[in-house]
Chain A
Amino acid sequence: MSESTPSFFHRIGLAFGAFFGILFNGELAARVQRLRQTGAHGGPETAPPQPILKETGPEAALQLLGLLQRDGRFIDFIEEDIASYSDADIGAATRVVHEGCRKVLHEHFTLAPVCTEAEGSAITLEAGFDASAIRLTGNVMGQAPFRGSLGHRGWRVTAVRLPRLAERHDARVLAPAEVEL
């Protein structure tokens, strides 16, 4: 870091600017959060943190499978051997799966495209674009700005609303067996 430490009065202005910036600019807030998490104590002096692979708990994945099965018969459909059925039969069942899975998706996630431009249109990526949200393919070389055409708009989840589970709820049971008395 070559910049010198800003003066106290400069810091007051910076602090106010940062406050409102973080409050109203989600991207800035995320970057500040990353900065605080990676270098909260010592700033640039501390050693870079060890790369860590995080473990994802199975609970949320099981929960989503359960919802897709409950409303969209997802497991039934995927687990069935479709080789012996006609396309018409499969098509009929697909309506149940499509309608139900779509309901689950829309109820529990808010989806938005990563890029709002029409697919196939020319697109320019400035330096510092979010590489985790945009994947470059083909002749990947040279320097930004990159010019290319949009192959897929991408999907991004902007909100997740998964149901809360009771403490001892067994999410591994994706669908209970049904016994009619």
Chain B
Amino acid sequence: MSDALYAIGIDLGTTHCALSSVDLGASEGEQASQQVMTIPQLTAPGTVEDLLLLPSFLYVPHPSELAPGDLSLPWTADQDYAVGEMARSRGAQTPIRLVSSAKSWLCHAGVDRRAPILPSEAPEEVARLSPLEASVRFLGHLREAWNHAHPEAPFEQQEITVTIPASFDPAARELTAEASAAAGYGQMTLLEEPQAALYSWIQGSTGRWRDQLKVGDIILVVDIGGGTTDLSLIAAVERDGNLEPHRVAVGDHILLGGDNMDLTLAHVVAAKLAGQDIRLDAWQLRALTHACRGAKEALLGHAETEVVPVVVPSRGSKLIGGSIRTELTREEIGRTVLEGFFPSVDSSARPLSRARTALTQLGLPYAQDTAITRHLAAFLGRQLGATHALEGFAAPTIPGATFLHPTAVLFNGGVLKARILADRIVETLNVWLAAEGAPPVRVLEGADLDLAVARGAAYYSYVRRGGGVRIRGGTASAFYVGIESAMPAVPGLEPPVQALCIAPFGLEEGTQAELPPQELGLVVGEPVRFRFFGSSVRRQDQVGTLLEAWESDEIQELGEIEANLPAEGRAPGEIVPVRLRAMVTETGTLRLEALPRGGGEHWKVELEVRGGTPS
């Protein structure tokens, strides 16, 4: 651990990855010497370029699709797939061979994330990968790129932090840690992306953050990336006389981001063209989506621009004769992006949800309501009590408040580079706050929206060694196992389930929860599954608390967990009473163990059960 020369931060994003490092020898205290590394990657067959971002796309070419050597990288000539920019551009034209959004699949509890299921639309002859394996390959590419650039500092000997969405459940965290281990990451810690963004802001302020924050502040971190939206609340508390950020709540995993906006705009423009009897094929629609992204940035970035031309280039070599010209207006973008994704809603608004059919579970569970402001209202409303019992937090609670009042906002994610969208979020928040007599929020300025997560992660790797301020908070959920109550069976009624708390809210890294008094029966030699639950709002529950009833939005069911008691020294089929103990590892993953009565032994309980959905 002490021979590390660099602290490395890796942003393993849904659409892009980035890598930043802090040179430990040249850093002291809050003055960290930091860089963002360019990542060599294929941008076309046989062409390698160094880019700041590595698109999180993987392309599996057909054996006769490319010439020998076309997939060569500076560090290897025998790799039969491509990751990065070439994978994205090629995959756009041949989606059956493209793995995208692997990270969203990694946290999709409805599928077996170790099974080869990607690309999900691939025909049989295409070799598929598991979401886990795809993540291993992105992480592996970053490791090789580092080793190529820094032969003096082998990657596996450095302090490494990999970021995850704050909303990742324990199984997705475990899988990310597993992917990192498989990609050859040695000293690795997980960090939530909104925290990384705040670390980056703290570092960027070079010490002045203490002037901008005071005890009692509540920072809302809004992170809108290409594919996901992540919300977190971080309170400024006093601890041992010092100001310390304390993460108090995280939001649900919302599969909604900039790509959805571009696609929506493309459909608006395509409908307009259809009105002129111009039909676009799939290739043209993709080109249109690309053109719409540019037009969106032009319109959102320049308030005086009213109309931006959109040109769909011809596919053939006749460019002038075959291109289609149309335009995107300020009114259309306002209606589609601003009102579609950021409507001015009331603080009591909640996301609309339709009942899902079983079929949709085969794909990714995209957000059904595209209004990010409604998701935000729901999050703040649900977290009203987040700071009630927080030690060292001096802010008075406003009587009659219906949602938690943030005092500051930190933005992250490329989408929010469009000032008008960030402004809409601030305006909406301020209307809500004014209605309850609270002061408007301050915007924490100076964040680098694309690279803040990687930078913050590297800074975190650095502060873990004792170099600066740390955000505390522990787990942002309490965890429960489901216990079926003993009652006579009633036909047509599921036996009611009770939830036994095994890990309280805010369990810190490197600590373990107490043992609950309740015992569960495990069958020796047979895998036994339990239902597993998490709550991002029940902060008061202690280990051993048994819930018989709860509100539906208070507790979420996670994937099942599985305990497997080996038959050694016991008769197979015998029922052994065990107690479950939870701990949070130094890496940042939740670990569950089964401890049989009266013995010193313990068995690991699997969080991610092979086979996915219960049969």
Contact = CB atoms under 8 A, between A and B. Distances in A.
B293 to A, nearest CB: 12
A161 B50 contact: yes
Contacts of A130: none
Contact of B323 (A92, A161, A168, A169): A92
Contacts of A79: 317
Given A76-B319, A165-B47, A169-B47, A95 B69 contact: no
B69 A92 contact: no
A97 B319 contact: yes
Nearest to A95: B311
Nearest to B324: A92
Contact of A76 (B40, B44, B69, B318): B318
Interface string A71-96: 00100110110100100111011011
Contact of A92 (B50, B311, B317): B311
Interface in A102-144: none
A9 to B, nearest CB: 36
B503 to A, nearest CB: 48
A73 B313 CA distance: 9
B311 A80 contact: no
Contact of B72 (A97, A166, A170): A166
Given A95-B309, A96-B311, A99-B294, A169 B46 contact: yes
Nearest to A169: B46
B128 to A, nearest CB: 20
B48 interface: yes
Contacts of A165: 46-48
A164 B74 contact: yes
B47 A163 contact: yes
Contacts of A85: 320-321
Given A92-B309, A99-B294, A167-B69, A80 B46 contact: no
B320 A90 contact: yes
B423 interface: no
B407 interface: no
B43 interface: yes
Nearest to B326: A92
Contacts, number: 78
B487 interface: no
Given A92-B311, A95-B309, A99-B294, A166 B318 contact: no
Given A73-B313, A92-B309, A169-B69, A164 B320 contact: no
Contacts of B315: 178
A70 interface: yes
B363 interface: no
Contacts of A89: 320-321, 323, 325
A92 B325 contact: yes
B68 interface: yes
Nearest to B44: A70
B70 interface: yes
Of A77, A80, A96, A165, most B-chain CB atoms within 10 Å:
A96
Contacts of B323: 89, 92-93, 96
Interface in B63-90: 67-70, 72, 74
B319 A163 contact: no
A170 B74 CA distance: 18
B319 A77 contact: yes
B69 A166 contact: yes
Contacts of B320: 77, 80, 82, 85, 89-90, 92-93
A168 B50 contact: no
Given A163-B47, A165-B47, A166-B47, A96 B309 contact: no
Contacts of B325: 88-89, 92
B296 to A, nearest CB: 14
B43 A163 contact: yes
Given A92-B311, A161-B50, A168 B321 contact: no
B306 interface: no
A178 B40 CA distance: 26
Nearest to A86: B320
Nearest to A74: B319
B586 interface: no
Contacts of B548: none
A80 to B, nearest CB: 5
Nearest to A84: B321
A97 B40 CA distance: 26
Interface string B316-355: 0111110101000000000000000000000000000000
B574 interface: no
A145 to B, nearest CB: 43
A96 B47 CA distance: 23
Of B44, B46, B318, most A-chain CB atoms within 10 Å:
B46
Nearest to B89: A70
A3 to B, nearest CB: 44
B70 A73 contact: no
B49 interface: yes
Interface string B16-52: 0000000000000000000000001001111111100
Contacts of A164: 40, 47-49, 74
A169 B50 CA distance: 18
B328 to A, nearest CB: 13
Interface string A26-38: 0000000000000
A22 B396 CA distance: 63
Contacts of B311: 92-93, 95-96
Contacts of B70: 166, 169
A180 to B, nearest CB: 8
A78 B76 CA distance: 38
A50 B269 CA distance: 64
Nearest to B281: A180
A80 B318 contact: yes
B316 to A, nearest CB: 8
Nearest to B308: A95
A116 B395 CA distance: 54
10 contacts: A76-B318, A77-B319, A89-B321, A96-B313, A163-B43, A163-B49, A164-B48, A164-B74, A166-B72, A168-B68
Interface of B: 40, 43-50, 67-70, 72, 74, 283, 294, 309, 311, 313, 315, 317-321, 323, 325
List of 6 A-B pairs having minimum Cβ-Cβ separation, nearest first: A169-B46, A166-B46, A92-B325, A76-B319, A93-B320, A163-B49
Given A76-B318, A77-B319, 11 more contacts: A80-B318, A88-B325, A92-B320, A92-B325, A93-B313, A96-B319, A96-B323, A161-B49, A165-B48, A168-B68, A180-B283
